[in-house]
Amino acid sequence: MQNNVVSAIFNIFINYDISCLRFNFRAVGRSTGTHSSGRGELSDVEACIDFLINNKKFEKIFICGYSYGAAIGCSSVNYSEKIIGYAAISFPWDFMGPKYKKLSQSEKPKLFIQGDLDDIANFRKFDEHYQFYNHPKKSEIISGADHFYWGGYENQAAELVLNFYQSII
């Protein structure tokens, strides 16, 4: 949760009075449990979605994830009709395998943000992966950003996510 990219997005949404829920996956930070290679983490995202719908009465949910969180969070896009779309920042397609690419396919609006110096979520293969997705979709390449978005690039990513969110609500 204390990641610079996640924090920048959370903070800009809060500054615009947009409700947010952020959390650590199991076994990350002070979260309990053990890493389960995606199975349990997908159920964690779905539990958060259920909480927002059933306890907080949200009618629209937008998912945003960074790196591993992009692969897991965005793979829940079709879990509920109340999910209106997602933003994936540095989705690590090659690291995660085809399962999460397929699960994140949707007819809902999608934004993919990638740094052109990212060698973890390999930028050289970005277009190949991006072409897999159905429309509506949008891509934003941040020139000079690597996988970690240090040096203000995290704020640029946050602005892109906010603008995309505002365009689909």
Q: Which of 84, 78, 76, 19 is nearest to 52 (CA)?
A: 19
Our CA angle for 159, 90, 125, nearest 5°, is 125
pLDDT reported for residue 2:
80
Domain limits, the chain: 4-168
Please list the pLDDT of the chain residue by residue as tens digits (169 residues).
Answer: 689 999 999 999 999 999 999 876 645 556 556 654 556 689 999 999 999 999 999 999 999 999 999 999 999 999 999 999 999 999 999 999 899 999 999 999 999 999 999 999 999 999 999 999 999 999 999 999 999 999 999 999 999 999 999 999 9
pLDDT reported for residue 26:
46
The two three-digit tokens of residue 3, written as one number? 């990641």
DSSP 8-state class, residue 25: P
Helix (H, G, I), strand (E, B) or coil at 116: coil
Helix (H, G, I), strand (E, B) or coil at 66: strand
pLDDT reported for residue 22:
87
Q: Which of 63, 73, 103, 71 is nearest to 90 (CA)?
A: 71
Q: What architecture is the 4-168 domain classified under in CATH?
A: 3-Layer(aba) Sandwich (3.40)
pLDDT reported for residue 36:
45
Side chain identity at residue 34, one-letter code: T
DSSP 8-state class, residue 107: S
d(CA 151, CA 130): 26
pLDDT reported for residue 55:
97
